[in-house]
Structure 1
Amino acid sequence: MKNWLALILGLPTANATERMRAWRALKASGAAVLRDGVYLLPDIGTCRETLAAVERDILAINGTAFILPVVDPGGERFVHLFDRSDDYDKLRAEIEACAGLLNTESVSAITKQVRKLRKTYEQLTHIDYFPGRPRQQTDQALRGLEVAISRALSPDEPHSSSQPVTVLNCDDYRGRVWATRKRPWVDRLACAWLIRRFIDPDARILWLNTPQDCPADALGFDFDNADFSHVGNRVSFEVLQASFELQDCGLNRIAALVHYLDVGGVQPEEAAGIERVLTGLRETILHDDHLLAAASAVFDGLLAGFVNDDQSNE
């Protein structure tokens, strides 16, 4: 048996602004329209909050609003009203169109478009109360395109392996040479920062022309067959985190940011600004050691900000 909530409302005819505001809030929540002025949502926490907020707004302008429980003994009577298959099909068609246009010349424009598609996907899943195969297919298509974009932007990006992540002791990795590919982007920059900040403060970072140039005694990261690289759905930063058990909340938020900027996925709110800053640094600072120093200051600031946020919320 599924339970539902119905909102029955009446708005003053002269108040078009509030009528539109209520309609937009209900549309954004994915509410089904049973008839004019009668809306239906599943009886879950987020939906109850949405309907209560609309009810308060309507009553504040002397309208009428009633939230009533609706019992569905069969459990399926209203489910079809929330079918998002058409929305997923439309989104998947846009994803496939972008994939068909992807090449080295279009990758920048396609990247911007895919960020919008990812946002649309997240909004759609937020109101997909009964997910099924269409959601899974769309997620796979979007992730596949994000990986293809990453490959186009950096053809020598490492492939993901399935090897297990081993827990290590930082004391065994002090005063070492750590090597990665030159002209680093977000994952390599963040890894180098993490290494010096939390694992090996005296680390010497060696920038390689090719992974094949890595010395035998150096610890490689973020290239195929390196000591630390992509594993499963984790980027190299997340693998280093897991390997050395560096899992405080501030670092986890940086990890989510690095993951998104490197391979896509759920977009943190800071992503666009940090991407712009790091892109500007990479374009204007040609010496990789100097680039790392500038990027490290950005990551230090991010970590401090995230830690302050966490302390404020306690």
Structure 2
Amino acid sequence: MNDSIELIALTVALPSTTTTARTKIWRGLKAAGAAVLRDGVYVLPASPAHETTLLGFQTEVENAGGGGELLTLPARDEAQAERFRALFDRSEAFGEWLVDCRQLANERTQDLPTLERRLRTVRRQFEQIAAIDFYPGEAQAQARRELEALANHLATLLSPGEPRALVGSIARLALADYQGRTWATRARPWVDRLASAWLIRRHIDPGAHILWLASPADCPPAALGFDYDGATFSHVDGRVTFETLLASFGLDAQMPLARLGAVVHQLDVGGVPVAEAAGVAAILNGMRLNIADDDALLAAASTVFDALAAHFADAPADKV
């Protein structure tokens, strides 16, 4: 038996006439982060605090003329433990929150009190989701980074001239210093390397020569490596290489590129779901299977990234 995860379940049976009580109890359980195992069975990860929470709802059920039982449900094996954890996956909630966060990041109003108020609201909403994210993963980490970036961005408007803490360890670089260079990454690229190579060619170094390495050890001393351990540009502070390049060259303020970065992030390391991600993965995978030459693969994949960037530039933030 797998004891790595255990749930506490509350069974709820209420008379059909207790509509008000039923709605109140359901809303309360939802706010507490309870998941529905099946009709009338609500579960939370086992802990003394959650047991106290469900005991309180059991009392409410009984006071409303219904019946309820508290049960302990240990996972039988790792597969069931994973299904139990999935009941509390907050990726979609963080994804919906991210829409509001990015809308505020793109706000052009100079009404500073309104910006302050909306930032407090967005922060409070994040904290509410995080409070019931019982098995936090990449989605929460990604959302937290976006919140920190938003707070730093708005701070420059709310308190101009004040020094700001740097996020992560990414230094701002000048595009002029990175022209006509050789950029090197591992051969047979997948999404982060393909998107990064596209970004380099389209927005950083139009004259870039992309070198595909059989091994990172083969990288020439003068080349700029990307997306491998020890490369000049790679994963930093939770960002994938594409996002690191965006931040390094000040391109992360361009919303179409930031949204494309969210797709790359989700496909490379997981995190907040992005509607376009599955389709992009299918298309790139098909190209990778059909095209053996890496330069030809990049050329084909670049049409996908060009189209995505145009789509994100055209689509309203709440539709992306």
TM-score normalised to the size of structure 1? 0.58
Change (3 A) 1:297 1:94: farther
Shift of 1:234: 0.3
2:102 maps to 1:97: no
Separation of aligned partners in 1, 2:290 and 2:275: 25
- Look up the SS of the partner of 1:40 in the other structure: helix
Aligned to 1:121: 90
Q: 1:166 aligns with which of 147, 150, 171?
A: 171
Shift of 1:81: 7.2
- Look up the SS of the partner of 2:211 in the other structure: strand
Q: 1:178 aligns with which of 175, 183, 190?
A: 183
The residue type equivalent to 1:287 in the other structure is: D
Aligned to 1:292: 298
Aligned to 1:269: 275
Aligned to 1:281: 287
- Range with bigger deviation, 118-127 or 175-184: 118-127
Q: 1:218 aligns with which of 213, 218, 223?
A: 223
Q: Is the 8 A contact 2:173 2:248 kept in 1?
A: yes
Change (3 A) 1:235 1:83: closer
Separation of aligned partners in 1, 2:33 and 2:281: 36
Q: 2:24 aligns with which of 40, 53, 75?
A: 40
Change (3 A) 1:89 1:79: closer
Shift of 1:306: 0.9
Change (3 A) 1:140 1:278: same
Aligned to 2:260: 254
Separation of aligned partners in 1, 2:76 and 2:251: 39
Shift of 1:89: 3.7
Gaps of 5+ in 2: 1-13, 36-41, 47-73, 97-124, 142-166
Shift of 1:98: 8.2
Aligned to 1:194: 199
Separation of aligned partners in 2, 1:269 and 1:95: 32
Aligned to 2:313: 307
Aligned to 2:246: 241
Change (3 A) 1:309 1:172: same
Separation of aligned partners in 2, 1:205 and 1:268: 28
TM-score normalised to the size of structure 2? 0.57
Aligned to 1:139: 136
Shift of 1:308: 1.1
Spell out the pairing of 1:138-157 with structure 2 (5 A cutoff): 138-140=135-137
Separation of aligned partners in 2, 1:305 and 1:203: 25
Separation of aligned partners in 1, 2:172 and 2:193: 20
Q: Is the 8 A contact 2:183 2:209 kept in 1?
A: yes
**Structure 1 residues 72-94: Cα deviation after superposition (integer angstroms, max 9, x where no partner):** xxxxxx5797352764549x969
2:209 maps to 1:204: yes
- Look up the SS of the partner of 1:139 in the other structure: coil
Q: Is the 8 A contact 2:137 2:271 kept in 1?
A: no
**Structure 1 residues 289-309: Cα deviation after superposition (integer angstroms, max 9, x where no partner):** 000000000000000111111
Change (3 A) 1:290 1:143: farther
- Look up the SS of the partner of 1:179 in the other structure: strand
Gaps of 5+ in 1: 1-32, 48-77, 101-112, 145-161
Aligned to 2:32: 82
- Among the aligned pairs, what percent are the same residue? 43
Shift of 1:140: 3.8
Separation of aligned partners in 2, 1:213 and 1:98: 44
Separation of aligned partners in 2, 1:95 and 1:210: 39
Shift of 1:139: 1.7
Q: Aligned-pair RMSD on alpha carbons?
A: 4.3
The residue type equivalent to 1:264 in the other structure is: G
Separation of aligned partners in 2, 1:94 and 1:242: 45
Q: Is the 8 A contact 2:196 2:242 kept in 1?
A: yes
